[in-house]
């Protein structure tokens, strides 16, 4: 075995990886010190995940060397990586939800007492790990009963149970609240004190600078640079990621809101747990943001408008005419479209082509008198989606699951535009998308508004709402806490309104 610098727990040297027709990695170097959080950043498609999969034994590199604790390794599969102290917490959790936490952590390596599983040892070992990490759930609970954040904690505990020297965390905060992120950071700090190295992948800039010691940026399969987090700014990171200056994170407004096209009056879903007397209007060519804390019932508004929720009372008027969207089909017929929050689970058919994913919501328009589908029309519309949405893909037949998150989102938006909606509703449209693709989505939203589409946009990122929208409706505990002008509001005002109807709070609307 070749020995090298023992200052680093992990060294990946000159790593290259090719797929048919694509050079995914080109001589990339990554050096990680023990007891540090090393952020790995880059646009979707930059090669971050490919590099980590080469480390973790999911892919086999074409050239280069990997050293763990100064010894060369070349894992052939994930089990070898885990047994040698390299773990990975994926963004998409692959857990057996019908089984309890103990089974999920120890599956395939149950402790034995003779021929039988030593359930007492399994329980005690799990409790000890949970105690060390300040995780308070019962290990005998079913995973399916946990919140997303608790599932993430279980995956981290599983990584720790392998006595990992290196833990890769891939977008672990994309579904977490601010309070849950703080808990995750406390766990990361405990691991750091125990000399565990964390490779942290995230698109959230402020988060990266808060938790990491070093930042490595990749672009187009190549290493751009590694810097100490204390020596770098958000603008520096963005410039390294996209290869151009992006000091203006949001495009200039091109839209000019006109007359009111949508009026929502007293929308009430469930007086105890749902929407309560929600009223607002939307203008032609306007981008209306919806803000609020987790549990404020933001998503419930667009689901109710799209016919996915039963409304107890209230009216919805489009062009001053009352409409009732009993289900998504009637909503589409009335000119509504909805891009859902969970892109992977409710937005795409990952194994099917871009053509199928582009045209699935508009099938009736492709039928001839004989009820056959017109392949020519479907092909032309798919080409329109790819060209107008600037989707990066080799072919219309490419499975959408192989595209980056940003390109998947563009296809979904294009799909709904083919239905020619008057009201386009976007729930967390840039979640899990890198900064360059975010800018393109913002431009797209702006262009659609300038073409007189009415747009409703939900986002958990307040700078995004303020930078992209014209007005912001702030929800608190199912009620409208206030509607503010995006140009004149602040994050502080939005936060204050978000807490307006929470128990024990008595904030006043300031605008």
The whole-number pLDDT of residue 505 equals 40
- Choose one of 192, 207, 242: the last residue of a domain: 242
- Composition of the chain by helix, strand, coil, percent to 5: 35, 25, 40
- In the block, which residue shows the tokens 């797209």? 444
Q: Which domain holds residue 146?
A: 10-242
Q: Is 122 within a domain? A: yes
Provide the phi-psi class of 492: left if phi over 0, else alpha when psi is between -120 and 50, else beta: alpha
Give every strand in the sheet of 10-19, ordered side by side.
Answer: 22-32, 10-19, 63-68, 71-73
228 and 259 co-located in one domain: no
217 and 274 co-located in one domain: no
- Choose one of 209, 242, 275: the last residue of a domain: 242
Q: How many CA atoms lie within 13 A of 152 on its CB side?
A: 23
174 and 214 co-located in one domain: yes
Residue partners of 396: CB distance under 8 A and separation at least 6: 353, 354, 355, 358, 379, 382, 383, 386
Across-strand partners of 170? 201
Across-strand partners of 424? 337, 455
154 and 130 co-located in one domain: yes
pTM: 0.62
The whole-number pLDDT of residue 436 equals 74
194 and 278 co-located in one domain: no
CATH of the domain at 460: 3.40.50.300
18 and 147 co-located in one domain: yes
Across-strand partners of 318? 262, 321
* Cα–Cα distance for residue pair 186/214, rounded to 1 Å: 18
Question: pLDDT truncated to tens, each residue of the chain (511 aa)?
Answer: 344 557 899 999 999 998 766 688 999 999 999 999 999 988 766 888 889 999 999 999 999 999 999 999 999 998 899 899 999 887 666 778 788 899 888 888 888 888 888 888 889 988 988 888 888 888 888 888 887 778 888 888 888 888 889 999 887 776 666 777 888 888 889 889 989 999 999 877 888 889 999 999 998 889 999 999 999 988 888 788 877 555 677 889 889 999 999 999 999 987 667 899 999 999 999 999 999 877 789 999 999 999 999 899 999 999 999 999 999 999 999 999 999 887 767 778 888 999 999 999 888 888 876 678 888 889 999 999 998 888 888 889 999 888 877 888 889 988 988 888 999 999 988 877 777 778 888 998 999 999 999 999 999 888 889 999 999 999 998 999 999 999 999 988 998 898 888 754 433 333 3
- Number of compact structural domains in the chain: 2
The whole-number pLDDT of residue 135 equals 84
Contact 255, 449 (CB under 8 A): yes
Q: Is 26 within a domain? A: yes
- Choose one of 184, 211, 242: the last residue of a domain: 242
Q: Which stretches does DSSP call E strand in 128-277?
A: 166-170, 197-201, 214-219, 222-228, 260-268
The whole-number pLDDT of residue 61 equals 94
Cβ atoms < 10 Å from Cβ of 332: 21
The whole-number pLDDT of residue 174 equals 65
189 and 303 co-located in one domain: no
């Amino acid at each position: 075995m070749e020995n090298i610098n023992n200052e680093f727990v992990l060294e990946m040297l000159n790593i290259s990886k090719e797929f048919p027709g694509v050079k995914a990695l080109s001589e990339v170097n990554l050096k990680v010190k023990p007891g540090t959080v090393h952020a790995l950043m880059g646009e979707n498609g930059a090669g971050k995940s490919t590099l980590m999969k080469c480390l973790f034994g999911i892919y086999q590199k074409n050239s280069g060397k990997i050293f763990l604790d100064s010894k060369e390794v070349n894992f052939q599969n994930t089990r070898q990586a885990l047994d040698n102290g390299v773990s990975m917490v994926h963004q998409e959790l692959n857990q057996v939800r019908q089984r309890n936490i103990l089974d999920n952590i120890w599956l395939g390596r149950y402790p034995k007492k003779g021929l039988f599983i030593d359930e007492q040892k399994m329980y005690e070992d799990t409790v000890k790990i949970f105690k060390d990490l300040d995780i308070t759930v019962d290990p005998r609970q079913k995973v399916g009963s946990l919140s997303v954040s608790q599932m993430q904690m279980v995956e981290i505990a599983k990584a720790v149970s392998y006595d990992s020297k290196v833990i890769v965390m891939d977008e672990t905060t994309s579904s977490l609240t601010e309070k849950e992120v703080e808990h995750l950071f406390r766990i990361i700090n405990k691991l750091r004190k125990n000399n565990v190295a964390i490779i942290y992948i995230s698109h959230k800039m402020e988060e990266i600078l808060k938790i990491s010691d070093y930042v490595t940026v990749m672009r187009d399969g190549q290493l751009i640079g590694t810097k100490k987090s204390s020596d770098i700014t958000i603008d520096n990171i963005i410039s390294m990621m996209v290869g151009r200056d992006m000091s203006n994170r949001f495009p200039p407004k091109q839209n000019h809101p006109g007359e009111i096209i949508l009026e929502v009056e007293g929308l009430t879903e469930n007086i105890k747990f749902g929407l309560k007397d929600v009223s607002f209007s939307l203008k032609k060519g306007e981008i209306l943001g919806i803000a609020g804390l987790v549990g404020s019932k933001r998503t419930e508004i667009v689901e109710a408008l799209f016919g996915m929720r039963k409304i107890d009372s209230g009216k919805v008027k489009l062009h001053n005419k009352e409409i009732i969207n009993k289900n998504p089909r009637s909503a589409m017929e009335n000119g509504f479209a909805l891009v859902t929050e969970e892109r992977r689970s409710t937005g795409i058919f990952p194994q099917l082509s871009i053509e199928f994913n582009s045209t699935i919501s508009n099938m009736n328009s492709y039928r001839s008198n004989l009820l056959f589908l017109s392949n020519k029309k479907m092909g032309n519309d798919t080409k329109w989606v790819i060209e107008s949405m600037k989707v990066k893909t080799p072919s219309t037949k490419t499975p959408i699951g192989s595209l980056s998150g940003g390109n998947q989102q563009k296809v979904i938006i294009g799909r709904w535009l083919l239905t020619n909606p008057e009201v386009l509703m976007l729930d967390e449209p840039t979640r899990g998308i890198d900064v360059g693709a975010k800018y393109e989505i913002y431009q797209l939203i702006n262009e659609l508004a300038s073409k007189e589409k009415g747009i409703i946009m939900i986002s958990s990122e307040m700078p995004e709402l303020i930078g992209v929208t014209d007005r912001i409706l702030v929800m608190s505990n199912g009620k409208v806490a206030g509607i503010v002008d995006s140009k004149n509001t602040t994050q502080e005002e939005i936060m204050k309104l978000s807490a307006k109807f929470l128990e024990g709070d008595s904030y006043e609307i300031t605008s």
